[in-house]
Structure 1
Amino acid sequence: MKRRSPILAAMCALTLLVAPATAQIIDTPATHAVILDNATGEVLYSKDGAEPMIPASMTKMMTAYLVFDMIKRGELKMTDRLTVSADAWRRGGFPSGTSTMGLVPKDTPTIEELLHGVIIMSGNDACIVLAEGISGSEEAFARRMTDLAHEKGLKSANFLNSTGLEAVGHVISAEDLALLAKMTVDDFPEYYKWYSLPSYSWREYTQPNRNPLLGIEGADGVKTGHLEASGYGLTGSAERDGVRRTIVINGMETMAARASEAERMLRLAFQSFELKTIAPESVSLPEQKVWLGQQGLVPVSLAEPMLIAGHKAAFENAKTEIVLDKALEAPVKKGDRVGRLVVTLEGRAPVEAPIIAEADVNKIGFFGKAIAGLSALISGNGG
């Protein structure tokens, strides 16, 4: 049962969130895009953000996260050394023609050095050395990556390798990549800072960090990616005035387009999107009709605060409605859940919070029922 008439008092509360009418809901040439508020984990904007996609080298965020987690558990130490195999060199070193740390067979870098090679140099050889040295094979390491991702709630993840090199079925959603970036910031701040390093050298080979956002206000991570099958992608994060936002884009046609769109999306993340809380006491909701009650109406209120996120312009046309769980019939007790308040903003899934009764309504007696039935009959509402 829905009540669709305007909820004037609730809308008055929402007007506090309204932006100028000239603002526009954004679009992006990226095939997949997400803006995430890190403090709450709320997705502020999503374009096919929940759809599994090819992450390319953004995969390496999970490779590093798994190693960080193993170090935290005491399974590894940063000073442990792993030996570079001929396979890792062939598939990820200079002979591969892909992003490399510049390792050669029988090198014995430490895990800390390899992590720098993964995070800053995007070295496929460094990823394979970690995978083989830790799990015996890249396939086994990738299974562990997937298991940990699922354990952490990243349900779209299906990793088939540690590098992000093309493999059919190797996917993760943009929303889960944004959450992975948030997890890295939250769980391993001491290692996350490596993502902002401008370059890294292994012996005579130096590779600059490919992240085009570094140098922009507050930007400190995280990872680029590119394959022919996926286009150019980037997961980026920045903190400004104590607020951290993370963006993910994928499917851009060129490196330059990726850089430009990433900068634009990061700017919009801070300037055009808001996260607001509507407190129960700030919203006055209309009373709801009660059947067979000693009072015909019962006051209702929000049971808990509502967290609403979205583009500032969308708040101007926010739609609100009370949705009752069922037709209210006495007796009703104060505190009973009776329905929910639903707020819908353009570009976002509806947000809802439970509504509760604010007073007791006792059931009318036999004669009251008879009178109510007669009144309904006279008014033509008797069925």
Structure 2
Amino acid sequence: MLLAFAIVGVQAEQLTTKAPKALLYEPASGTVLFAKDADVPFAPGALVKVMTAATVFKALSDGELTQDQLCTVSEHAWRTGGAPSGRGATMFAAIKSEISVEDLLKGLLVHNGNDSAIILAECLDGSETAFADRMNALAAEIGMANSNFGNPTGYEEAVSTTTVRDQVRLGEYLVEEHTERYSMFAIPEFTWNNIFQRNKNPLLGEIRNLDGLGGGAHSEDGYSGLGSIDRNGRRIIAAVAGLTSDNHRLAALKEIFEGTWEFYAVKTVFTAGETVAEGRVFGGVDGTVPLISEADIDVFLPRGGTLEYRLRVVYLGPLVAPIAAGTPAGELQVIGQDGVVHRAPLVTGASVPEGGLVGKALDSVQELLFGWIG
């Protein structure tokens, strides 16, 4: 059943960006503030390493690894991702040495080390290919519906694809599910093998309050970035892709992050317990039941107006009596120009006892002749 509410069409200034692909998200309210080609795939390059970190974090949480567990540096990891490779960032891990998982994660997240990524993959699954399978399983589990990862480094010989929507979902997963380890993304520097290196995240220190996550570049798909900031107690996550340089990537992320506070504010659409809609009931003493939210429905919306946002209630109906108050019954969707920007669960706001045989018969006749209209 769909119950659509009127469109509100007050004009307001809009956030814009030159980034070909972008998504801005506020996780506390679950609001998509801005979206632009958010589901168009791109190759992430070294941004893959954020997914590599998430995969290792999950293995640590699941007890498959421990932080002090030692991993051996294979010749493959050393030659392919280390100093001999000449392929960019490395933690300078020595061949055949043993390094703890914790230090390898620092090498991955601070040094952006290709060797770190390969060593962790081999330590957990024996090969990059097997680890990539694990990455893809986690991506599917957390709702990254349009991503596929070919290796833990982002090297272009193995195809990896993702979207800015999936990257923002990954950022949300890291912030919410790995809160303690998330702080590793903001470690300012790390010394390994007597070599001092500052954090290589090109966004860190350039955007106020940013504490993660990473950037990447691809020969054809350009520069991409995933950032997360915590400002005034509110977390915002954003991703951009398709930029022509690291400076353009930084400018695009700055633009949309700062636009959050310039163009948007929290608005309470419905208060806790307020009736959002009436749901139809089959076989009950009452023909309808109020659908409510158990908490205030707060949504980030434009300050100067609502830019043709509309509200829609979706529920599987009719609801069959008897119905207890507080039964999950559907959701409220806030829909903007780019689709659903916010979802809030709804429950029944009252109990509806089962009706008599006559009432059930009349409900059956109505359903047969007319169907159920929400």
**What is the number of residues matched between the two proteins?**
342
C-alpha separation in 2, matches of 1:277 and 1:256: 37
C-alpha distance in 1 between matches for 2:57 and 2:277: 52
Long gaps (5+) in structure 1: 288-297, 327-334, 361-383
Normalised TM-score (structure 1): 0.73
**Aligned residue type for 2:190:** Y
- Does the alignment pair 1:269 with 2:251? no
Residue type of the alignment partner of 1:131: A
Taking the aligned partners of 1:149 and 1:186, their CA distance within structure 2 comes to: 15
Comparing 70-79 with 298-307, greater Cα deviation is found at: 298-307
Q: Which residue of 2 aligns with 1:155?
A: 145
Scaled by the length of structure 2, the TM-score of the pair is: 0.75
Question: Is this contact kept in 2: 1:314–1:346, CA < 8 A?
Answer: no
Q: Deviations over 1:319-372 (max 9, x none)?
A: 56899999xxxxxxxx9xxx99876434443768889999x9xxxxxxxxxxxx
Corresponding residue of 2:237: 246
Match of 1:125 among 109, 115, 127: 115
CA contact (8 A) 2:277 2:292 kept: no
Structure-to-structure mapping, 1:346-357, within 5 angstroms: 346-349=337-340
Instruction: Show structure 2 runs of 5+ residues with no match.
Output: 279-286, 318-324, 353-374
Q: Which residue is 1:30 aligned to?
A: 19
Percent sequence identity over matched residues?
Answer: 31
Of the structure 1 ranges 41-50 and 259-268, higher mean CA displacement relative to structure 2 is found in 41-50
SS at match of 1:82: strand
What is the alpha-carbon distance in structure 2 between the residues aligned to residue 168 and residue 45 of structure 1? 31
Q: CA deviation at 1:81?
A: 1.3
Shift of 1:191: 1.3
The 10-residue stretch of structure 1 (121-130 or 61-70) with the greater mean CA deviation from structure 2: 61-70
CA spacing shift, 1:285–1:59, aligned 2, 3 Å: closer
Cα distance in 1, alignment partners of residues 47 and 332 from structure 2: 39
Change (3 A) 1:199 1:302: same
Moved more, 302-311 or 46-55: 302-311
Matched, 1:228 2:229: no
Deviation at 1:234, TM superposition (A): 1.2
Residue in structure 1 matched with residue 98 of structure 2 by the alignment: 108
Q: Note the aligned Cα RMSD (angstroms).
A: 4.2
2:372 equivalent in structure 1:
none
CA distance in 2, matches of 1:111, 1:47: 37
Question: 1 CA distance for matches of 2:171 and 2:80?
Answer: 27
Match of 1:146 in 2: 136
Question: Does the Cα contact within 8 Å between 1:302 and 1:341 map onto a contact in 2?
Answer: no
Flag the structure with larger Rg.
Answer: 1
Is 2:168 the counterpart of 1:183? no
Secondary structure of the residue aligned to 1:172 is: coil
Match of 2:189 among 162, 186, 199: 199
Residues 307 and 232 of structure 1: CA distance in aligned 2, closer, same or farther (over 3 Å):
same
User: Larger strand proportion, structure 1 or 2?
Assistant: 2
Cα deviation for residue 3 of structure 1 reads 10
1:272-299 residue CA offsets vs partner (Å, 9 max, x unmatched): 2344332168989999xxxxxxxxxx99
Cα pair 1:32 1:249 within 8 Å, conserved: yes
